[in-house]
Amino acid sequence: MSIASTRTPSSPSAAPRSAGRPISSCRSVAGEQRLRVVRPGASGSHAAYVPAVVGADLVVPTVHGPVGYANLDHAASTPALVAVKAAVDTALETYSSVHRGNGYASTVTSAWYEQAREEVATFVGARQDDTVIFTRNTTDSFTLLARSLPQDTTVVVFETEHHSTLLPWKGTRTVTLPVPASIEQALADLEAALAHADTRHRLVVVAGASNVTGELWPLARITALARRYDARVAVDAAQLAPHRAIDIEATGVDYVAFSGHKVYAPFGAGVLAGRSDWLDTAAPYLRGGGATARVSTAGTTWATGPARHEGGSPNVIGAIALAAACATLAANRPAIEAHEAGLLAELRRGLAVIPGVDTWSIFGQDHDRVGVVAFTIERLDSSLVSAILSAEHGIGVRDGKFCAHLLVDELLEDPWGEVPATAVRISLGLASTPEHVERVLAAVAALAAEGPQRRYVRTEQGWRPEGDTRELTLPRPW
């Protein structure tokens, strides 16, 4: 089943959803009462606003005492939206099996699961005949796509990609293009690779936004080029979806993948959306209940549409959470983009004037980007920098090579030899505030000027301040 039969497009500019009643009753024409299922969390309309997240007032221990947590690590995982939590709470009230029962709760839950699919289709601007498959995350989505490629396909991918996008193509003819110095070079390299690919099918795989530098790839230009060589385009939207609108139809891309836990729906669901033909003829991703049309001693007929690859009982709460997040983000894009653009400009302006700090870029500092910045402080180990930001300033960032080893190795090229070629990544989002940006800039400036002011020791958990007495665990939440 493709989404075409059930899709009832809800406008991306529709209202943000807050918790609402799950079920409302209404009178049918004949006057008898029937039940109408309302999406969990659906309610009236508002002007665009910056959606609130759960845990925004989290206080964390530092060596100087408790401070408000500065979440500058959205690219790894985002906190849950308040609207997501509300939708999940509501959905749990009637939570039951999906497509496996005629009981009332099962009927309601099954309807919500399919409505979640429709919401995601709207969120990505899917074509009417595209398929939307719920997966576990972006990695799962690309693994599914890799297993769905027709024989005789060439995959073209850049070294800039996250490992989830770079690695699933094992066993398929793959052309890996070097980190380009400019968009024009990227397009030229891509064109040369496509021109030389002598297989029947071609697939270009590219990130919407880099998880290391935040820089945007020109999807419409890539798709236009790919079309000239009869190639398809799959977009890793893991870092694009939280920040910018995705529009399959407008950009002409063929597939989009992203993760719920990076769009403020941290409940283990992801998405692969796109053309149904390869997916409908591929071997089922999970062989079992739900993926079959008919099983008899004579053989098995597999379902088509999303069911083919969603074997087993689905993660319905994950799908509902993801849909609630998509609805909320889509309804509030202008406010979200303005919030993040302001913070990003401030952050980049501040980092640019700190002596000894370098920010890293593929296409140049003026290239359009989302709120993800990788930087290094001269001669300081990035893992020590992130430990200091946490222990002394209550700031959460990530350090390392960010599952993009080829890109980071190329950008950093072991700049000082004496410390690992890794970087610190600040990633902005809905939990970030101007005060967080000010705090991290002040901390980085002090570190760059004076170096660490305390002794740190390496432990199994990474760098820790010597004599650290902070309690870093909490009682189990169950």
Ligand X SMILES: Cc1ncc(COP(=O)(O)O)c(C=O)c1O
Choose which of 2, 109, 122, 165 interacts with ligand X (CB under 6 A).
165
The answer to whether 207 contacts ligand X (rule: CB under 6 A) is yes
For the bound state, the minimum distance from the C-beta of residue 271 to ligand X, rounded and expressed in Å, comes to 11
Helix, strand, or coil (residue 49) = coil
Written as six digits, the tokens of 341 are: 């653009």
For the bound state, the minimum distance from the C-beta of residue 319 to ligand X, rounded and expressed in Å, comes to 15
C-alpha torsion sign, points 344, 346, 349, 353: negative
**Of 100-159, which residues contact ligand X (CB under 6 A)?**
137-139
**Of 282-301, which residues contact ligand X (CB under 6 A)?**
none
Q: Is the distance from CB of 49 to CB of 430 less than 8 angstroms?
A: no
The nearer residue to ligand X, 239 or 390, going by C-beta atoms, is 239
For the bound state, the minimum distance from the C-beta of residue 351 to ligand X, rounded and expressed in Å, comes to 21
The nearer residue to ligand X, 75 or 219, going by C-beta atoms, is 75
The answer to whether 160 contacts ligand X (rule: CB under 6 A) is no
The nearer residue to ligand X, 124 or 331, going by C-beta atoms, is 124
Write out the DSSP string of 238-276: TTTTTTS---HHHH--SEEEEEGGGTT--SS-EEEEE-H
For the bound state, the minimum distance from the C-beta of residue 41 to ligand X, rounded and expressed in Å, comes to 23
User: How deeply is 312 buried, as exposed, middle or buried, from its count of CB atoms within 10 A (0-12, 13-18, 19+)?
Assistant: exposed
The answer to whether 164 contacts ligand X (rule: CB under 6 A) is yes
For the bound state, the minimum distance from the C-beta of residue 405 to ligand X, rounded and expressed in Å, comes to 13
The nearer residue to ligand X, 164 or 361, going by C-beta atoms, is 164
In this structure, the strands spanning 292-296 and 299-302 are antiparallel
For the bound state, the minimum distance from the C-beta of residue 99 to ligand X, rounded and expressed in Å, comes to 25
**Of 453-472, which residues contact ligand X (CB under 6 A)?**
none
**Of 226-285, which residues contact ligand X (CB under 6 A)?**
236, 238-239, 259, 261
Written as six digits, the tokens of 302 are: 């597999």
The residue assigned the tokens 């980092």 is 351
Written as six digits, the tokens of 198 are: 């002598």
The nearer residue to ligand X, 145 or 238, going by C-beta atoms, is 238
Q: What is the dihedral of CA 279, 282, 285, 289, to 10 degrees?
A: 90
Identify which range of 120-128, 160-168, 340-348, 440-448 contacts ligand X by CB under 6 A: 160-168
Choose which of 2, 71, 143, 211 interacts with ligand X (CB under 6 A).
211
> How wide is the angle at C-alpha 111 spanned by C-alphas 109 and 113, nearest 5°?
70
Catalytic residue check, 326: no
> How wide is the angle at C-alpha 284 spanned by C-alphas 281 and 286, nearest 5°?
165
Count residues binding ligand X (CB under 6 A): 14
| Phi, psi dihedral angles at 474 (to 5 degrees) | -125, 160
C-alpha 98/C-alpha 102 separation (Å) is 10
Catalytic residue among 344, 403, 424, 428: 403
Binding residues for ligand X (CB under 6 A): 75, 137-139, 162, 164-165, 207, 211, 236, 238-239, 259, 261
Q: Looking at the annotation, which residues are catalytic?
A: 403
